[in-house]
Copies of this chain bind each other. A is one copy, B any other.
Amino acid sequence: MISGHVFIATSLDGYIARNDGAIEWLLERDDPSEDHGYDAFIETIDAIIMGRGTFDAVRDIKPWFYTRPVLVLSATLADQRPPVELEDKVRFSGKSPEQAMAMLEAEGCRRAYVDGGQLIQSFLRLGLIDDMTITQVPVLLGNGRPLFGPTPSDISLTHEATQAFSSGLVQSRYRVVR
């Protein structure tokens, strides 16, 4: 059975990026000497699902950052082919979240990393997220792109662990209650 996982940083007021996508507020407060667990997390992951917004933000970063196969869910991109240099790393698909998870499962994928605010919100609303690791950055941005959005009803969580870092980042892991 495939499961969905979130690993993301937000400002204390819940934004994952400024309105223009900028994340310099995060990079400035990151301490590269601290291990925030991304590498250990990604080791457990078989595939990465992201939306077009996230793909557009990372597509030109060289070298390509992701070490797992990436599935980009986008009605706009579905009919296009990925850039040549990414064609063995990235697929575009117009599938729904449920269809995408079913496809990955049929391919043998057991754990999918769901990235990007809009996609995380969709997957949460559909009950496709199993756990979330959220790293809170000690700053209030006042506005930007929120991690969370409206939900049809409460989504109850089980707190699993919290770790505070010297940099001021606070990372908590929650399991989504089904």
Give the interface of A toward B (CB within 8 A).
Answer: 12-14, 25, 124, 134, 136, 138-143, 147-159, 161-162, 164, 168-170, 172, 174
Contact status B168-A154, CB under 8 Å: no
C-alpha gap A106/B99 in the complex (Å): 65
Top-10 shortest CB links A-B:
A142-B151, A159-B168, A13-B148, A138-B157, A140-B155, A162-B164, A138-B159, A142-B150, A14-B14, A162-B170
Contact status B139-A156, CB under 8 Å: yes
Contacts of A172 in B (CB 8 A): 136, 164, 170
With A159-B164, A162-B162, A164-B162: A12-B174 Cβ-Cβ less than 8 Å: yes
The count of identical subunits is 2
Least CB separation from A132: chain B residue: B12
Least CB separation from A142: chain B residue: B151
Contact status A124-B140, CB under 8 Å: yes
Q: A12-B157, A13-B147, A141-B151 are in contact. List 9 more A-B contacts (CB 8 A).
A: A12-B134, A13-B148, A140-B154, A142-B148, A142-B149, A142-B150, A142-B152, A157-B168, A159-B164
A140 → B minimal CB distance (Å) = 4
Contacts of A151 in B (CB 8 A): 140-143
C-alpha gap A140/B146 in the complex (Å): 13
Contact status A154-B25, CB under 8 Å: yes
Contacts of A134 in B (CB 8 A): 12
Complex A-B: 30 CB contacts under 8 Å: A12-B134, A12-B148, A13-B147, A14-B14, A14-B148, A25-B154, A138-B156, A138-B158, A139-B154, A139-B155, A139-B157, A140-B148, A140-B151, A140-B157, A141-B154, A142-B149, A142-B150, A142-B151, A142-B152, A142-B153, A142-B155, A143-B150, A143-B151, A159-B164, A159-B170, A161-B164, A162-B162, A162-B170, A164-B172, A170-B172
